[in-house]
Structure 1
Amino acid sequence: MRFLLLAVPLAVALAGPWSVPDSTVHGASFTALGLLGTDFAGRDVWHQVLLGGRSLVLTAGFATAGAYLLGTVWGLTAARAPRMADEILMRPLDVLLAVPSLLLLLVVAALAPDGALAWIVMLVHLPDVARLVRACALEISARPAVEALRLQGESRWRITAGFVVPSMARVLATDAGTRLTGSLYLVAAASFLGVGAPPDAADWAVMVDRNRGGLFLNPWAVLTPALLIVMLAVGLNLTVDRAQKAAS
């Protein structure tokens, strides 16, 4: 069941654009024509569904991967740095943590150029990832095994790369599933609020926003993209939870 919850929206999002005809036919708004009827602009809802998921999935995936790449380097550097350098690295992130994530996204998006949504979501996740990595690195560095490696003459960064990072991999992998779901939420919420995507874009969140006025005329124009977003988020969480239980 969890496999279907994740596989169906992923397949629609990633492979869907290849199944859509090159030419888009416009008709009347909110009619029953086509598999799922038409949307507010008279476009085939099924074609818009096939086109609307790739940007959501790729943007969320890129933002999460970038946040972990930058956050891991940031957190490890802070954990291994002298106290003053540690303070300089971590205190600006505390300022970002004090601002609600969606509010921070909307404020930064209003100042950033178009197409920067993935980078903004990456910025939103960076403080949490960096603090998590730093906390894990400090705890692992206090273990007797690390002291034994120091006594053997291993360098600080070789200990970090060879022991500390592998030791925190499981914690980071567990957090990554939740973080990716959070990225999906932020990207979808931003698109729903008109940030990061044009108002007539083929995007699942935009479809929910723009077609809700015709909910009783053609509910599939709203329910289908909303259901796919929910399936993607729930399926991702269940898959990560199952993978963690299997590894334990």
Structure 2
Amino acid sequence: MKGRLGFGVVLLVVPLLIAIFGPFFVPDEVTRGRAFVETGILGTDFVGRDVLHQVLLGGRTVVLVALIATGLSYAVGVPLALVAAMARRRWLDELLMRPLDIVLAVPSLLVLILVAGVAPRGYTTVVLVVAVVTVPDIARVARAAALEVSSRPALEAMRLQGESRWRLAFGYVVPTVAPTLVADLGVRITAALYLVASASFLGVGVAPDAADWAVMVDRNQAGLFLVPSAVVVPAALIIAWSVGVNLVFDRAVRR
């Protein structure tokens, strides 16, 4: 089990370190040569830029945007779930959850395609879209876990003692459902990473020639057999980070 955790930490930390500190090792002036030429360590990409430099530059947009979008999703979804689960009035639960079910019924890729046609390009758009399509899933999972806890005799005893709603929610319910939320968090980060990468493929988040791991995988496919590292390296980093997140969070839940 310790070996599995160590393997997960390596898979998680290596892409994260590259994403955070990689840009500091790239020269300010980016030179361009011939496209898909095996020069340097990893060769050149579809516009003649050094693939190693693009790998060092391209992680922040994928990793950090996914983390920010996931954090925003939980900041919205968990409080909604707590209010719905602890509400004494059935109509309030229905009022909060039914609109989320409508959003959940729309495929996330369809939302991205629609946004690509009407919304301005930028990281803010990607974060908001990913948060909107992720909030319903988080709210449903958190609500299902909180419903069971909110019906326990211990919580009713706390109510009779005059404890505030804040104390009930964040002093008892949230710590009790924390393992479920932690387990779900690993899945949501991976899903957010997938959506951020998909947004890059669709041109929602970044420019078509931006230094971005997802864009590199998409744009360099034409030279896969000439300079395979231009596709394989960024794809491997995305996969490693996704697997590492789930392995680490799975271990956290077990502990």
- Shorter-normalised TM-score: what interval? over 0.9
Which of the residues 65, 74, 91 maps onto 2:71?
A: 65
1:23-172 maps to which residues of 2 (within 5 A)? 23-81=29-87, 82-115=89-122, 116-172=125-181
Give the letter aligned to residue 4 of structure 1: V
Q: Which runs of 5+ in 1 are unaligned?
A: none
Q: Is the 8 A contact 2:8 2:244 kept in 1?
A: yes
CA RMSD of aligned residues (A): 1.3
Inter-partner Cα distance in structure 1 for 2:85 and 2:118: 32
Q: Is the 8 A contact 1:109 1:120 kept in 2?
A: no
Inter-partner Cα distance in structure 1 for 2:150 and 2:185: 22
Give the letter aligned to residue 190 of structure 1: A
Name which structure has the greater RCO, CA cutoff 8 Å, separation 6+.
2
Inter-partner Cα distance in structure 2 for 1:107 and 1:79: 32
Q: How far off is 1:214 after superposition?
A: 1.1
Deviates more, 1:42-51 or 1:150-159: 150-159
Q: Percent identity?
A: 58
Give the letter aligned to residue 100 of structure 2: L
Q: How far off is 1:89 after superposition?
A: 1.4
Deviations, residues 94-122 of structure 1 (Å, cap 9, x unaligned): 11111122222322343322221011101
Q: Is the 8 A contact 1:38 1:218 kept in 2?
A: yes
Give the alignment's TM-score, normalised by structure 1.
Answer: 0.95
Inter-partner Cα distance in structure 2 for 1:110 and 1:97: 21
Q: Is the 8 A contact 2:115 2:204 kept in 1?
A: no
Deviates more, 1:73-82 or 1:31-40: 73-82
Residues 1:221 and 2:230 aligned together: yes
Which of the residues 194, 215, 218 maps onto 1:206?
A: 215
Q: 2:19 matched to which residue of 1?
A: 13
Deviates more, 1:179-188 or 1:79-88: 79-88
Inter-partner Cα distance in structure 2 for 1:147 and 1:195: 48
Inter-partner Cα distance in structure 2 for 1:124 and 1:40: 32
Deviations, residues 178-221 of structure 1 (Å, cap 9, x unaligned): 11011111111221233211100000111111111111111111
Q: Is the 8 A contact 2:216 2:234 kept in 1?
A: yes
Give the letter aligned to residue 35 of structure 2: S
Deviates more, 1:156-165 or 1:195-204: 156-165
The structure-2 alpha-carbon separation of the partners of 1:169 and 1:100, relative to structure 1 and needing over 3 Å to count, comes to same
Q: How far off is 1:73 after superposition?
A: 1.4
Q: Which runs of 5+ in 2 are unaligned?
A: 1-6
